[in-house]
Amino acid sequence: MAQVPVDEKLVARCRELAAQVAGDVQTYVDRHTTVGVERVMVRALGVIGTDDQGVPLVNALVERLRVSGQLPMGASFALGRSVVEHGGSLQDAAERLAYGPELDQVDPKAAISSDVITSARKALAAATDAALDRIDRARDEREALRARFPPPNDVPHKYVIVATGNIYDDAVQAKAAAHAGADVVAVIRATAQSLLDYVPEGATTEGFGGTFATQENFAIVRRALDEASHRHQRYVQQTNYSSGLCMAEIAWMAAVERLDMLLNDAMYGILFRDINMCRTFIDQYVSRRFVARSGIVINTGEDNYLTTADAVEKAHTVLSSQFINEAFAHRAGLKDEQLGLGHAYEINPWIEDSFLMELAQAQMVRQIFSRHPIKWMPPTKHKTGDIFQAHVHDAMFNLVGITTNQSIQLLGMFSEAVHNPLLMDRYLSLKATRYVFTAARHLGEEISFKPGGRIEQRAQLVLAEAHAQLEDVVGRSIWNAIEEGAFADVKRSRTGGKGFAGIVEKAPGYLNPVLEKLEGK
Amino acid sequence: MHPTEPKLLRAYGDREGDGMVQMSFTLQLPKGARAREAAKRFAESHGLKEPLVSTMEECAEGYCYFVVYGHSQHSVDVTNLEVPDVEVPRLEIKEVDHRILTRLGRKLVVVGACTGSDAHTVGIDAILNMKGYAGEKGLEAYKGFDAYNMGAQVENDQLIERALALSADAILVSQVITQRNCHKENGRALVELLEKRGLRKQFVLLFGGPRVDHKLALDLGFDAGFGPGTRPGDVASYLVHRLCGEGEEHAKN
């Protein structure tokens, strides 16, 4: 088996440093909540519906609690207390608090006795158990289907995207992709959704650059892929995006609608969507608590770093971020087998030995994260409208994927720089990938890299640089490091960016029984 | 090869005038003799003579993908082509900086953004950010420019407010997503907003993106358009010619 030398001591030190980063952030996370976190808890407790303008009830409720200064106790507490004092179901309580006068009668400054908290907790107990049951049932159902129609043993799994904007067209394209051999189908999200501070409701047929992530849309694609799984006797996995201002709510929806993977990154929103870093750190933690329970595999977004920063000079930032993403994920209860750490084939293809450098990094990542379902992303930045050249470029990317045993391979599209993939583009990409994967299936087992040669040296250099960066990040603190542009050449301030106003410091009696259960308390 | 360019051009395959082209497409038909014939007819109706269906494969249930070669009967008259393009001589960074600082006596202020719901900063970053594109530094790296990159998903009125606050000389708009022509709508909306507020003449307005060309930009009411492959130096050179004298070297329409 081709291996690059990996200094285990250095890797252990990197993990130690990343754990310090995650620990530092966790002390902040534990003391705060966000409007997004509170909304997902209300959803998990079974509250549904929108008003006549399409505003979700959970948004109306949480916003009103925030404005009236009652969010520090948690939305769950408000619901529980309302049921205790005024009766009815949690749904009734949510509607009363969101739309009625009840909330105005509460003095947010009045002291809350522990008896009141205890009785509120009691009122939430059944709904809390039901929330966890829903996640567990969906997980069991997924596992049963996977047992019945086993996905292929061979990796990399072939991952394709569909992005029509219309969920019904997406469902057709998803089935077509499964028919053509895709193992994983992702529905790309409408471009602006990460910045929406609510999740749209229902099936959607309009969206730029992709399709809105809604619970109903998740269900529609899951049905289509379940049909495809039966038809081809091979389980086809579904992916969407738990990112942006609603990452926690989307994680819940994905958990109960039986998605298999979620794009979910501890820092992506900060760097690439200018979402406030404090907000993102809190939201990513809670989203990952749902993910951990549901058995979903996350895909992290380090590949994006190389679209803004240089893929040769900044390769180590991908590795250091993978260590950090791993540490954050462990803090949220995820297992290594759920961590699809991301990286990408983004080196300028015309540089001498660019292929060797890609091979070195892919092999190194494979070895360092040996139990993780590593996500390998195709070239995008250096693709042009020359589709013939792009097809060759993707073939080289595929060759690295199969040689180094990557786990999840997002297939490149030769028309990447031109348009969303056409039906035949996806088919041709799957065909070419099948060829390369078949033709080079055991190449990695048959070769070894020249000791002290270019590939080994490159791997050693990148690990050494990643280690140096992690020492530096810990020295400066992650907060300052992001402010100073340590990742992706992007600088973000601690109080800047979107969603900062949605952060609330928890009161001493803060109540969140769903999160407690997810944390195993 | 002929030394002179013929006026009526046909596609060049392996000899002049053969008109050879290839096309690939998908038809909603199951694979078979009928599908092959349909593909042939389809190619013929596009002007291909003696079409050869070189590939027919099922790319999804009930859909076939084809590659067809044929002799295109069409030709193009190249004598009367009107091609608006930004034609200004390329200047080195030093020369750009020198001209701005000596002729203008201050820095040239540019504000850029990717507007609307488009979340792709790749284009505006390539032109404005220090790092630049294809080995060329972006405008941030010039001494003659004060470059402000507002990133993606910026609303047109935000962009205008920022440009006013900074007393910008030029506004750069990037549009990457082109689904249902939203790039054109976003661009046109900015021009209309500026006109409504009587501000259009106050800024040099540039439009860029993978599906943008100079002609489209002019049609939408911009001063110039920059398509794929544009480097920061192209934009810098244009702005210098436009804003630092040299009237005769303005973009040719």
Q: What is the pLDDT of residues B227-242, one digit of tens each?
A: 888 889 999 999 999 9
The yes-or-no answer on residue B131 being catalytic is yes
In terms of DSSP bridges, do strands B76-77 and B8-9 run parallel, antiparallel, or are they unpaired? antiparallel
Residues 6+ positions from A254 with CB-CB distance below 8 Å: A218, A240, A242, A262, A291, A294, A296
Kindly list the residues from chain A whose CB atom is less than 8 angstroms away from the CB atom of residue B115.
none
List C-alpha distances in Å: B216 to B21, B176, B182, B195, B226.
27, 14, 13, 18, 10
Kindly list the residues from chain A whose CB atom is less than 8 angstroms away from the CB atom of residue B57.
427, 431
Q: Residue B5: pLDDT above 70?
A: no
Range of lowest pLDDT (A112-121, A267-276, A433-442, B4-13) = B4-13
| Partner-chain residue, chosen from A192, A274, A423, that has the shortest CB–CB distance to B60 | A423
Q: Residue A9: pLDDT above 50?
A: yes
Q: Which CATH number applies to B93-251: 3.40.50.1360, 1.20.200.10, 3.40.50.280, 3.40.50.300? A: 3.40.50.280
List C-alpha distances in Å: A267 to A244, A297, B125.
10, 17, 20
Whole-number Å distance between alpha carbons of A400 and A361? 10
Q: Do B179 and A209 touch (CB under 8 A)?
A: yes
Whole-number Å distance between alpha carbons of A485 and A469? 12
The four Cα atoms B30, B33, B39, B41 give a dihedral, to 10 degrees, of -130
> Hey, which of A128-132, B107-111, B197-201 has the most confident mean pLDDT?
A128-132
Range of lowest pLDDT (A104-113, A283-292, A374-383, B242-251) = B242-251
pLDDT tens digits, one per residue of B115-154: 887 777 778 888 988 777 777 888 988 989 999 988 888 8
The four Cα atoms A185, A186, A187, A193 give a dihedral, to 10 degrees, of 170
pLDDT tens digits, one per residue of A342-365: 999 999 999 999 999 999 999 999
pLDDT tens digits, one per residue of A473-505: 999 999 999 999 888 777 889 998 899 999 999
| Structure confidence at residue B249 (pLDDT) | 40
Q: Do A423 and B26 touch (CB under 8 A)?
A: yes
Cα within 13 Å of Cα(B39), Cβ side = 30
Residue B137: count other Cβ atoms within 10 Å of its Cβ: 17
- Evaluate whether A300 touches A341 at the Cβ level (below 8 Å): yes
Selection from B124, B132, B121 nearest residue B172 by Cα:
B124
Number of H helices, E strands in chain A: 20, 11
Give me the DSSP letters along A77-136. HHHHHHHHHH-S-HHHHHHHHHHSSGGGGS-TTS---HHHHHHHHHHHHHHHHHHHHHHH
Give me the DSSP letters along B156-182. HHHHHHHHHHTT-SEEEEE----GGGH
Token pair in block for residue B252: 């040719």
Q: Do A424 and B26 touch (CB under 8 A)?
A: yes
> Hey, which of A21-30, A102-111, A175-184, B3-12 has the most confident mean pLDDT?
A21-30
Q: What is the largest CA-CA distance in chain B?
A: 73
CATH code that applies to domain B8-77: 3.30.30.60
What are B's interface residues with A at a Cβ cutoff of 8 A? 24-26, 57, 59-61, 63, 65, 117-122, 125, 129, 131, 151, 153, 177-180, 182, 210, 228
Burial class (CB in 10 A: 0-12, 13-18, 19+), B250: middle
Choosing from B7, B49, B94, B131, the catalytic residue is B131
Backbone angles phi, psi at A297, to 5 degrees: -95, 130
| Structure confidence at residue A384 (pLDDT) | 86
Whole-number Å distance between alpha carbons of A105 and A95? 15
Kindly list the residues from chain A whose CB atom is less than 8 angstroms away from the CB atom of residue B212.
none
Question: Span A175-198, mean pLDDT?
Answer: 91
When pLDDT is cut at 50, 70 and 90, the band that residue B6 belongs to is low
In terms of DSSP bridges, do strands B48-60 and A157-162 run parallel, antiparallel, or are they unpaired? unpaired
Helix (H) / strand (E) element for B76: namely strand B76-77
When pLDDT is cut at 50, 70 and 90, the band that residue B85 belongs to is confident
The beta strand positions in A305-422, using DSSP E, are: 339-340, 342-344, 375-377, 408-410
| Structure confidence at residue B229 (pLDDT) | 82
| Structure confidence at residue B250 (pLDDT) | 38
A423 touches chain B (CB under 8 A): yes
| Structure confidence at residue B248 (pLDDT) | 39
Amino acid (one-letter) located at A51: D
Kindly list the residues from chain B whose CB atom is less than 8 angstroms away from the CB atom of residue A208.
117-118, 177, 179-180, 182
A351 touches chain B (CB under 8 A): no
A224 touches chain B (CB under 8 A): no
Question: Span A157-177, mean pLDDT?
Answer: 93
Q: Do B117 and A424 touch (CB under 8 A)?
A: no
Q: Residue B1: pLDDT above 50?
A: no
pLDDT tens digits, one per residue of A309-339: 789 999 999 999 999 999 999 999 999 999 9
A428 touches chain B (CB under 8 A): yes
Q: What is the largest CA-CA distance in chain A?
A: 75
Kindly list the residues from chain A whose CB atom is less than 8 angstroms away from the CB atom of residue B210.
385, 417
Whole-number Å distance between alpha carbons of B211 and A417? 10
Whole-number Å distance between alpha carbons of B222 and B191? 7
Q: Residue B247: pLDDT above 50?
A: no
Question: Span A202-216, mean pLDDT?
Answer: 92
Kindly list the residues from chain A whose CB atom is less than 8 angstroms away from the CB atom of residue B151.
274
| Structure confidence at residue B177 (pLDDT) | 74
When pLDDT is cut at 50, 70 and 90, the band that residue B246 belongs to is low
- Return the residue in B179, B180, B183, B184 with the most chain A beta carbons within 10 A, the one to mutate for interface testing: B179
| Structure confidence at residue A241 (pLDDT) | 96
| Partner-chain residue, chosen from B59, B117, B121, that has the shortest CB–CB distance to A192 | B117
| Structure confidence at residue B67 (pLDDT) | 98
Question: Span A6-35, mean pLDDT?
Answer: 98
Chain centroid to CA A296: 10
Range of lowest pLDDT (A75-84, A196-205, B43-52, B80-89) = B80-89
Question: Span A153-175, mean pLDDT?
Answer: 92
Question: Span A403-417, mean pLDDT?
Answer: 95
pLDDT tens digits, one per residue of A130-157: 999 999 999 999 999 999 999 888 889 9
List C-alpha distances in Å: A179 to A225, A423, B57, B235, B250.
10, 12, 13, 46, 55
| Structure confidence at residue A408 (pLDDT) | 97
When pLDDT is cut at 50, 70 and 90, the band that residue B220 belongs to is very high
Selection from B121, B89, B76, B102 nearest residue B238 by Cα:
B89
Question: Span A201-226, mean pLDDT?
Answer: 94
Residue written as token pair 């792709």: B120
Q: Do A308 and B60 touch (CB under 8 A)?
A: no
Residues 6+ positions from A296 with CB-CB distance below 8 Å: A251, A254, A255, A259, A260, A261, A262, A338
Q: How many CB pairs under 8 A join A and B?
A: 72
Whole-number Å distance between alpha carbons of A112 and A84? 14
What residue spans define the domains of chain B?
Answer: 8-77, 93-251
Q: Do A192 and B153 touch (CB under 8 A)?
A: yes
What predicted TM-score, i.e. pTM, was given to this entire model? 0.86
| Structure confidence at residue B182 (pLDDT) | 82
Whole-number Å distance between alpha carbons of A283 and A260? 20
Q: Give me the active site residues of A, please.
A: 268, 303, 375
When pLDDT is cut at 50, 70 and 90, the band that residue B4 belongs to is low
Residue written as token pair 């106790």: A73
Whole-number Å distance between alpha carbons of A413 and B177? 17
Token pair in block for residue A457: 């040296």
A12 touches chain B (CB under 8 A): no
ipTM of this model? 0.84
A192 touches chain B (CB under 8 A): yes
